Amino acid sequence: MIELEQVAYSYGDSELFSDVSLTLQPGSFHFLTGPSGSGKTTFLKLCYGELLPTAGHLRLFGSDVRALTRDGIAEMRRRVGVVHQDCGFLDHLPIADNIALPLSVAGQSPASEQENLAELLNWVGLRARAGALPPELSGGERQRAALARAVIMSPDVILADEPTGNIDWEMSQRLLQLLVELNKMGKTVMIATHDLGLIRAAKAQVSARVLRISDRRLQLAGADL
């Protein structure tokens, strides 16, 4: 689904990582770790085509990203749901409307998807908060809403960038359970995180690979995590 072959990425003269090769298979579950500044967010951006590698080959759903048109990249991105560190909600819109925004961007009518939206809100435990504005939500509620927005287009891949960084352990577990459920439905999941406790909790439920960016390389982390 997502294939990186000897990929490198540089900011100006500074190389963030190089010689990265990885294939995200359908239905796989990955964690991405590494110190701050190692390139986790950049790596995720490569995986959904927001950035292009400075060297190597990147294929998304079988297509080389360099050969895709702007419309082709937009179409491909609908198959990838992203939970950003900054949820990026529009504060003047109710959270249900924020979750439905990808439908409007894709040219679909949110009104025709009201039943699916209601089911999604119920799944993330926000049915009673559908009319609330983003500033009225707790950190955990915002992250669950961000996950709902990421999956409303029924993507094949879900990428989450530090989704539990600003919420407590109980809410982290709730969010993890939603991601595990998505994986058990056949979705490919990758979570960038510093939280080793979260990784241990996930590995008790799913077969998850743990990857680490270190010294500009992507490595398989030790089995002791």
Set out the domains of the chain in order of their start, with CATH numbers: 1-79+155-225 (3.40.50.300), 87-154 (no CATH)
What is the pLDDT, as a whole number, of residue 210?
Answer: 95
What is the pLDDT, as a whole number, of residue 222?
Answer: 58
Q: At residue 111, does pLDDT exceed 80?
A: no
What is the pLDDT, as a whole number, of residue 161?
Answer: 93
What is the pLDDT, as a whole number, of residue 214?
Answer: 87
Q: At residue 108, does pLDDT exceed 90?
A: no
Task: Name the residue type at position 8.
Answer: A
Q: At residue 224, does pLDDT exceed 50?
A: no
> Average pLDDT, stretch 8-19?
88
Q: How confident is the model at residue 16 (pLDDT cuts 50, 70, 90)?
A: confident
Question: For residue range 63-92, what is the model confidence (pLDDT) as tens digits?
Answer: 999 898 888 888 888 899 999 888 889 999
What is the pLDDT, as a whole number, of residue 81?
Answer: 94
What is the pLDDT, as a whole number, of residue 82?
Answer: 94
Distances (CA, A) of 157 to 9, 29, 148: 22, 10, 13
Mean pLDDT (the chain, rounded):
89
Residue scoring higher pLDDT (86 or 94): 94
Residue scoring higher pLDDT (106 or 103): 103
> Average pLDDT, stretch 108-135?
88
- Is the pTM higher than 0.85? The answer reads yes
Question: For residue range 173-216, what is the model confidence (pLDDT) as tens digits?
Answer: 988 999 999 999 999 999 999 888 899 999 889 999 999 998 88
